[in-house]
């Protein structure tokens, strides 16, 4: 019966050891998942910080775009006002009886269209070309006389300056809008990457929890088998004491011998023994 109990105890001890090893392996895995999760979360924070920097820069550029648009609109309005003033000045300063420049330009455009789209005889085409030349000459003459007018000249200079300002403002709007879009694109890419990295961190957290639960279960089974081993130890010890007592040994002697056997086992494993341990071995006949 004692041998049978020793065999059962050894099996329980082996099971306890197996669950301990498995628990330790799983605990190593939990530490790996924790490290991976923390690393990924750190990457998420870095990506979000970088994306936030691009968002702030984008918003600053968008504010500059709005300012540049306001300036551009102001100059465009000024251009329209000056263009109307130039045309009005030209109308007022045309020689008496002269055909308005706008009408001459419309007539010239109509003749050019007719020349391109109509099939004309040689005579009619010659006459058409002569009429176009006459209108062009008249236009040139009128424009030259108007350009020499001081009021028209000053208005044209103001108009040119206003157009330059409007074009510069429009160019600035385009450049700033492109920069803002580039910042927005980088921000979006970084947020998308941070979302993907966060999903990976969440998966690592799930694996950590799953592995931790498995490790806890292995630990529970290890403790359960250890308790079984201790129960067997108690039963075996009780039987051993009873057998020794039946053989004429006192309980104290049995316990002393049991203690000496444990010390001797430690000695065989290479452990350093105390003076008290050596005295116990000597009393029990081991030395």
The predicted pLDDT at position 117 comes to 85
Average pLDDT over residues 151-169: 90
CB atoms within 10 A of CB 133: 11
The CA–CA distances, whole Å, from 189 to 45, 48, 60, 166, 243 equal 15, 11, 19, 35, 80
Bigger pLDDT: 266 or 35? Answer: 35
The predicted pLDDT at position 246 comes to 67
Q: Spell out the residues 6+ positions from residue 37 whose beta carbon is closer than 8 angstroms to its own.
A: 201, 204, 205, 208
CB distance 215 to 27 below 8 Å: yes
Q: What percentage of the chain reaches a pLDDT higher than 90?
A: 49
Tell whether the model's pLDDT for residue 108 goes beyond 70: yes
Average pLDDT over residues 212-226: 95
CB distance 66 to 177 below 8 Å: no
Tell whether the model's pLDDT for residue 6 goes beyond 80: yes
Q: Which residue shows structure tokens 């690592």?
A: 204
Tell whether the model's pLDDT for residue 217 goes beyond 60: yes
What is the pLDDT confidence band of residue 88, given thresholds at 50, 70 and 90? Answer: confident
Q: Is the dihedral of CA 242, 244, 247, 251 positive or negative?
A: negative
Average pLDDT over residues 210-219: 97
Q: For 53-74, write each residue's pLDDT tens digit.
A: 999 999 999 999 999 999 999 9
The predicted pLDDT at position 284 comes to 66
Q: For 227-260, write each residue's pLDDT tens digit.
A: 998 888 887 777 777 777 666 655 566 567 777 7
CB distance 22 to 216 below 8 Å: no
The predicted pLDDT at position 98 comes to 66
Q: For 163-176, write each residue's pLDDT tens digit.
A: 999 999 999 999 99
Q: pTM (2 decimals)? A: 0.60
Q: What is the mean pLDDT of the chain?
A: 86
- DSSP letters spanning the chain: -HHHHHHHHHHHHHHHHHHHHHHHHHHHHHHHHHHHHHHHHHHHHHHHHHHHHHHHHHHHHHHHHHHHHHHHHHHHHHHHHHHHHHHHHHHHTSPTTPPPHHHHHHHHHHHHHHHHH----HHHHHHHHHHHHHHHHHHHHHHHHHHTSHHHHHHHHHHHHHHHHHHHHHHHHHHHHHHHHHHHHHHHHHHHHHHHHHHHHHHHHHHHHHHHHHHHHHHHHHHHHHHHHHHHHHHHHHHHHHHHHHTT--HHHHHHHHHHHHHHHHHHTTPPPPHHHHHHHHHTT--
């Amino acid at each position: 019966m004692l041998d049978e109990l020793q065999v059962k105890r050894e099996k329980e001890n082996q099971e306890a050891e197996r669950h301990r090893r498995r628990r330790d392996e799983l605990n190593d895995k939990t530490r790996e998942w924790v490290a991976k999760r923390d690393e990924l979360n750190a990457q998420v924070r870095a990506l979000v910080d970088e994306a936030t920097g691009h968002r702030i820069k984008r918003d600053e550029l968008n504010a500059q775009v709005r300012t540049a648009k306001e300036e551009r609109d102001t100059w465009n309005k000024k251009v329209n006002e000056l263009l109307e003033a130039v045309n009005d000045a030209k109308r007022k300063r045309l020689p008496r009886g002269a055909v308005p420049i706008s009408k001459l330009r419309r007539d010239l455009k109509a003749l050019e269209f007719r020349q391109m789209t109509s099939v004309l005889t040689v005579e009619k085409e010659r006459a058409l070309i002569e009429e176009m030349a006459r209108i062009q000459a008249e236009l040139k003459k009128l424009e030259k006389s108007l350009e020499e007018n001081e009021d028209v000249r000053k208005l044209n200079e103001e108009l040119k300056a206003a157009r330059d300002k409007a074009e510069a403002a429009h160019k600035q709007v385009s450049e700033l809008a492109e920069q803002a879009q580039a910042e927005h694109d980088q921000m979006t890419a970084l947020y998308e990457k941070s979302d993907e990295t966060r999903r990976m961190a969440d998966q690592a957290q799930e694996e950590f929890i799953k592995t931790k639960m498995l490790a806890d279960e292995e630990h529970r089974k290890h403790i359960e088998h250890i308790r079984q081993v201790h129960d067997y130890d108690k039963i075996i010890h009780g039987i051993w004491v009873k057998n020794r007592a039946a053989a004429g040994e006192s309980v104290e002697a049995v316990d002393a011998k049991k203690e000496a056997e444990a010390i001797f086992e430690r000695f065989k494993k290479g452990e350093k023994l105390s003076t008290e341990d050596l005295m116990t071995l000597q009393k029990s006949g081991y030395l």
